[in-house]
Chains A and B, each alone.
Chain A
Amino acid sequence: DARVTQTPRHKVTEMGQEVTMRCQPILGHNTVFWYRQTMMQGLELLAYFRNRAPLDDSGMPKDRFSAEMPDATLATLKIQPSEPRDSAVYFCASGPPLAGATDTQYFGPGTRLTVL
């Protein structure tokens, strides 16, 4: 049963610290999305990759957030320095190649981040 995996599942850190979240997309998927979910804003798209290339990161605060895909099996989201307002659940989702397939996204279990 192929699944998106995310680590860590929970992270508590202090303001100003660097936070790195990791995602392993489903093998064979070529799109990766990073979302942030809060009670106030719902699901917000932070970054979008296709074939490891960043296509859209307009929803991401550029001064402190960065997203990369070092290889096809790993996507990372970094926050440096972290702030209390970054506290949220961060989801990674992957999707299969578009041709001949639905644009379904398969979500990971999320990383719950708390910045004190």
Chain B
Amino acid sequence: EDQVTQSPEALRLQEGESSSLNCSYTVSGLRGLFWYRQDPGKGPEFLFTLYSAGEEKEKERLKATLTKKESFLHITAPKPEDSATYLCAVQARGGSYIPTFGRGTSLIVHP
């Protein structure tokens, strides 16, 4: 059974204080790993897809990296508008392509 564990559950940062969110996964052959951002009262919004170990993707202050067992979402010099819940999901190779989501990390960035 595919499993996704995100840590920490909650993270409070000061504006400008860089940090990383972790997504550990167990899957029988990874097809893709996804990062989403979810703001309160809204649906998750797609950020990145990573397909193979060593791959990195960046978007503004966010950079996602992938190894064979985990993914990190690095946040550089965060701003209050980066406050949100960040969700990680994995998709196994073959089969129905149904993603398995983690519980998310709630990030609060204080000004």
Contacts and interface: CB of A to CB of B under 8 A. Distances in A.
Q: Is the interface of A mostly helix, strand, loop or mixed?
A: strand
Interface string B44-56: 1110010000000
A4 B43 CA distance: 10
B21 to A, nearest CB: 15
Given A48-B96, A103-B31, A110-B42, 9 more contacts: A42-B103, A45-B98, A56-B96, A91-B43, A104-B34, A104-B49, A107-B44, A109-B43, A110-B41
Query: 7 shortest A-B CB distances, which residue pairs?
Result: A107-B43, A43-B101, A42-B103, A102-B49, A107-B44, A104-B46, A91-B43
A103 B43 contact: no
Interface of A: 4, 31, 33, 42-43, 45, 48, 55-56, 91, 93, 98, 102-110
A39 to B, nearest CB: 10
Contacts of B103: 42
B49 A105 contact: no
A43 B32 CA distance: 18
A107 B32 CA distance: 18
